[in-house]
């Protein structure tokens, strides 16, 4: 009988987790966070925001400041060494062992656990089939492409049937096209495994696609935690709004005169371009054809600049005078953000 | 970039001159070891009698030198590789200080180190009269070379991350060390071994003070023969020294080049 792909999912509960480096730098302000059983949580933020530190606290490679507790399900793991935590980790550069073949890398965790050779071989084969690399079992690591290495790292992490799976920027090292493809594969695989997973990324699209929920972090703090759609439509702070896609902001007398509000915040696809005389008067400064859309760079009469993404058959050319208003489907929520 | 013919010839000329400067005296000495009478010159005839005489008188010093070098290598490997790993894992001010301290016996004259050893351990009878005493001195002198070489290969290979990866897979510190760290630092270990063996076989300063009449090594025997025998015998000794040393050196060098080649390929994979 084949072993299940993963064990029953556990929750990860962090209470009052903070991290201060020996030189006194605060990497992480005290935070509470719960990752639900079977959920994929994406930690999103710019580099240096503490997201990787948080991941390393969960897998035990860093120790949190005194007073913190970490639980996997009911079990307290705060003082448990990384080798006993039962976590599967995919590292940013993959950290594959150069002195071992693909199969040996995937089977290393099982060998350490004393799994018999025959059972180990079966499990390795199963894992390699899962990431579609059966044919490369005997290859050396330096004979693999970036995408293949990423999949070996994933297979190695899953092979030990970890209690939780942690991925540190798993797709960053790859080129854009491959990243798109592997992102889809990874999303499918995570859903199939049903394992509790934390994924660190600085790419908002990746976070929204892979995460059931997304935790946006900035300067060692948790800015907002929620489902991708909530974060996008109702960001709790200008930082979150700005980080999850472009946010344009217009204010001043012109806006007040034409729209009756002090400020207007919107995403480039949320405005409609209409005939001059309607809405807010603006001038097209530049036009970029992007295939499915056209990107217009516009300016108000007082010089404020903003961007609009409109249908690719939009006729406006540079120097055209147009009117701008919020598209009918645009949510009103963003206006509130602008005032915070 | 192209080089003119003149540059190439000049370079070649200088290289040959330097080589001749280095090898010339050795060749002369070897010739002396094979001539009947060095003062008469080659026309006195060639002979192996000095070589045979050296072998009869000093064969034990040659084997002892090999033994000491191998024992030194064993000790420096067992101490040096883990030490290099600890220094790599915890790179701080204390690590740097420790490394400087370890290098001290290289800077301090060998005679001073040997004196210090005799002052501290000389009264321990069995140790003072055994070959182990010489091994202790050689380990002190060669350990920093092993640690430096191994550390260099460990720093280049992002080994700390590999170690962390193995830890999350459940491997204990000891398992990680033998499964991941040692194989990845292989090229550094071989380079270090080459240096340690070379230094130990040729070491004279320390050994001169540490040896007893029963624990003479090859270089001490060589000095002895220069001081007390015919010049031809001492020169024949040099010949024997070279014949014993060269195959070992060439073999180790070949191994080092080979490991470096495969090692660098493997390291490329982890980046």
Q: What is the pLDDT along chain B (271 residues), one digit of tens a residue?
A: 566 788 888 999 999 999 888 888 888 888 888 888 777 777 777 788 888 888 888 888 888 998 999 999 999 999 999 999 999 988 888 888 888 888 887 888 888 888 888 888 877 777 777 888 889 999 999 999 999 999 988 886 688 999 999 999 999 999 999 999 999 888 889 889 988 998 898 888 888 888 888 888 888 888 887 887 777 888 888 888 888 778 887 887 788 777 766 544 443 333 2
- A107 has pLDDT over 90: yes
Tokens matching residue B104: 């001290």
- A339 has pLDDT over 70: no
Determine contact: A47 vs chain B, CB below 8 A: no
Determine contact: B157 vs chain A, CB below 8 A: yes
Q: Could you state, in order of their start, the residue ranges of all structural domains in chain B?
A: 1-47, 57-270
CA distance A89 to chain B (A): 7
Residue contact A91–B161, C-beta within 8 A: yes
Q: What is the pLDDT of residues A126-141, one digit of tens each?
A: 999 988 899 999 999 9
The predicted structure's pLDDT at residue B162:
93
The predicted structure's pLDDT at residue A272:
87
Residue contact A59–B158, C-beta within 8 A: no
For residue A127, which residues of chain B lie inside 8 Å, CB to CB? none
Determine contact: A22 vs chain B, CB below 8 A: no
The predicted structure's pLDDT at residue B271:
29
For residue B269, which residues of chain A lie inside 8 Å, CB to CB? 96, 98, 140-142, 144
The predicted structure's pLDDT at residue B1:
53
The predicted structure's pLDDT at residue A1:
40
Q: Which residues pair with A272 in a beta bridge?
A: A325
The predicted structure's pLDDT at residue B265:
40
For residue B165, which residues of chain A lie inside 8 Å, CB to CB? 89, 91, 95-97
Cβ contacts of B177 within 8 Å, gap of 6 or more: B82, B85
Closest in B167, B170, B266 to A142, CB measured? B266
C-alpha B27/C-alpha B20 separation (Å) is 10
Residue contact B158–A84, C-beta within 8 A: no
Of residues A292 and A329, more confidence is placed in: A292
Q: Which residues pair with A249 in a beta bridge?
A: A265
For residue A99, which residues of chain B lie inside 8 Å, CB to CB? 180, 183-184, 266
Q: Provide the number of CB pairs (under 8 Å) joining chain A to chain B.
A: 81
CA distance A57 to chain B (A): 12
CATH 3.40.50.300, chain A: domain bounds: 12-237
Average pLDDT over residues A204-223: 92
C-alpha A238/C-alpha A245 separation (Å) is 11
Comparing C-alpha atoms, which of A55, A93, A56, A43 is closest to residue A222?
A: A43
Determine contact: A84 vs chain B, CB below 8 A: yes
Residue contact B171–A88, C-beta within 8 A: no
CA distance B128 to chain A (A): 44
B57-270 architecture in CATH?
Orthogonal Bundle (1.10)
Q: What is the pLDDT of residues A175-202, one digit of tens each?
A: 878 888 888 888 888 888 889 999 999 9
Determine contact: B266 vs chain A, CB below 8 A: yes
CA distances from A164 to A172, A182, B182 (A): 21, 21, 30
The predicted structure's pLDDT at residue B251:
83
Q: How many CB atoms are located within 10 Å of the residue A81 CB?
A: 13
CATH 2.40.50.140, chain A: domain bounds: 248-338
Interface of A with B in 117-156 (CB under 8 A): 140-142, 144, 156
Which CATH code, of 3.40.50.300, 3.20.20.80, 3.40.50.880, 3.40.630.10, is assigned to A12-237? 3.40.50.300
The predicted structure's pLDDT at residue A330:
54
For residue B167, which residues of chain A lie inside 8 Å, CB to CB? 61, 81-83
Residue contact A97–B162, C-beta within 8 A: yes
Q: What is the pLDDT of residues B89-148, one digit of tens each?
A: 888 888 888 888 888 878 888 888 888 888 888 777 777 778 888 899 999 999 999 999
For residue A60, which residues of chain B lie inside 8 Å, CB to CB? 168
**Mutate: best of B168, B174, B181, B260, partner A, most A CBs <10 A:** B168
Of residues A123 and B236, more confidence is placed in: A123
Q: What are phi and psi for residue A116, nearest 5 degrees?
A: -60, 150
SS3 B41: coil
Of residues A17 and A181, more confidence is placed in: A17
Q: How many CA atoms lie within 13 A of A198 on its CB side?
A: 31
C-alpha B157/C-alpha B182 separation (Å) is 12
A248-338 architecture in CATH?
Beta Barrel (2.40)
Determine contact: B161 vs chain A, CB below 8 A: yes
Determine contact: B265 vs chain A, CB below 8 A: yes
CA distance A146 to chain B (A): 10
Q: How many CA atoms lie within 13 A of B92 on its CB side?
A: 6
Q: State whether ipTM is beyond 0.90.
A: no
The predicted structure's pLDDT at residue A337:
45
The predicted structure's pLDDT at residue A191:
87
* DSSP state, residue A328: T
What pTM value is reported for the model? 0.78
Determine contact: B15 vs chain A, CB below 8 A: no
Closest in B161, B170, B184 to A83, CB measured? B170
**Mutate: best of A95, A113, A123, partner B, most B CBs <10 A:** A95
CB A324 within 8 A of CB A280: yes
Q: What is the pLDDT of residues A288-308, one digit of tens each?
A: 998 888 999 999 988 899 999
C-alpha A141/C-alpha A332 separation (Å) is 52
Per-residue burial over B107-139, b if 16 or more Cβ lie within 10 Å, else e, is eeebeebbeebeeeeeeeeeebeebebbbbbbb
Provide the pLDDT confidence category of residue A159 given band limits of 50, 70 and 90: very high
For residue A84, which residues of chain B lie inside 8 Å, CB to CB? 170
CB B217 within 8 A of CB B65: yes
Q: How many CB atoms are located within 10 Å of the residue A298 CB?
A: 24
- A2 has pLDDT over 60: no
Cβ contacts of A69 within 8 Å, gap of 6 or more: A13, A14, A15, A16, A17, A76, A78
DSSP B172-228: -HHHHIIIIIHHHTHHHHHHHHHHHHHHHHH--HHHHHH--TTS--HHHHHHHHHHH
């Amino acid at each position: 009988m084949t072993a299940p792909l993963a064990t029953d999912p556990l929750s990860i509960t962090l209470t009052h987790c903070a991290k201060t480096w020996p030189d006194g730098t605060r990497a992480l302000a005290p935070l509470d966070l719960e990752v639900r059983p079977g959920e994929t949580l994406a930690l999103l933020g710019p580099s240096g925001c503490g997201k990787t530190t948080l991941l390393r606290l969960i897998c035990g490679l860093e120790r949190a400041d005194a007073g913190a507790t970490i639980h996997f399900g009911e079990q307290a793991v705060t003082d448990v060494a990384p080798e006993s935590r039962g976590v599967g980790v995919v590292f940013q550069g993959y950290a594959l062992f150069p002195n071992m073949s693909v199969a040996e890398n995937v089977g290393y965790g099982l060998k350490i656990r004393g799994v018999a050779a025959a059972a180990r071989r079966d499990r390795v084969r199963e894992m390699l089939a899962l990431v579609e690399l059966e044919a490369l079992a005997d290859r050396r690591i330096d004979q693999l492409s970036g995408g293949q290495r990423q999949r070996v790292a994933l297979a190695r992490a899953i092979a030990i049937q970890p209690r939780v799976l942690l991925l540190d920027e798993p797709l960053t090292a790859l080129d854009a096209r491959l990243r798109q493809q592997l992102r889809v594969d990874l999303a499918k695989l995570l859903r199939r495994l049903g394992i509790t997973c934390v994924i660190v990324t600085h790419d908002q699209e990746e976070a929204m696609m892979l995460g059931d929920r997304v935790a946006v972090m900035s300067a060692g703090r948790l800015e907002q935690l929620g489902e991708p759609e909530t974060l996008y439509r109702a960001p709790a702070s200008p930082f979150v709004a700005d980080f999850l896609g472009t946010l344009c902001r217009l204010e001043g007398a012109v806006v007040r005169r034409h729209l009756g509000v002090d400020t207007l915040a919107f995403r480039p696809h949320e405005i409609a371009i209409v005939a001059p005389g309607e809405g807010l008067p603006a001038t097209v400064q530049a036009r970029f054809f992007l295939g499915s859309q056209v990107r217009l760079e516009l300016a108000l009469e007082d010089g404020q600049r903003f961007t609009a993404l409109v249908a690719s058959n939009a006729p406006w050319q540079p120097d055209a005078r147009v009117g701008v208003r919020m598209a009918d489907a645009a949510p009103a929520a963003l206006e509130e953000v602008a005032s915070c | 970039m192209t080089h003119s013919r003149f540059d190439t010839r000049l370079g070649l000329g200088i290289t040959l001159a330097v080589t001749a400067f280095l090898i010339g005296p050795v060749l002369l000495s070897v010739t002396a070891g094979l001539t009947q009478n060095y003062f008469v010159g080659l026309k006195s005839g060639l002979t192996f009698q000095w070589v045979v005489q050296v072998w009869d008188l000093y064969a034990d010093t040659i084997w002892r030198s090999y033994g000491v070098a191998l024992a030194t290598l064993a000790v420096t490997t067992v101490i040096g590789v883990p030490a290099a790993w600890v220094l790599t894992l915890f790179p701080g001010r204390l690590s740097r200080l420790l490394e400087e301290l370890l290098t001290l016996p290289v800077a301090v004259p060998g005679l001073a180190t040997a004196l210090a050893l005799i002052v501290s351990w000389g009264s321990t009878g069995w140790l003072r009269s055994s070959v182990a005493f010489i091994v202790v001195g050689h380990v002190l002198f060669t350990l920093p070379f092993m640690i430096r070489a191994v550390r260099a290969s460990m720093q280049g290979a992002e080994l700390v991350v590999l170690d962390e990866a193995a830890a999350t897979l459940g491997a204990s510190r000891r398992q990680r060390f033998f499964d991941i760290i040692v194989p990845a630092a292989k090229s550094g270990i071989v380079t270090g071994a080459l240096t340690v063996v070379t230094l130990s076989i040729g070491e004279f300063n320390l050994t001169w003070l540490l040896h007893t009449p029963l624990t003479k090594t090859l270089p001490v025997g060589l000095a002895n023969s220069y001081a007390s025998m015919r010049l031809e015998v001492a020169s024949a000794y040099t010949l024997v020294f070279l014949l014993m040393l060269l195959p070992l050196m060439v073999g180790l060098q070949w191994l080092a080049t080979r490991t470096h080649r495969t090692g660098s390929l493997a390291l490329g994979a982890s980046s």
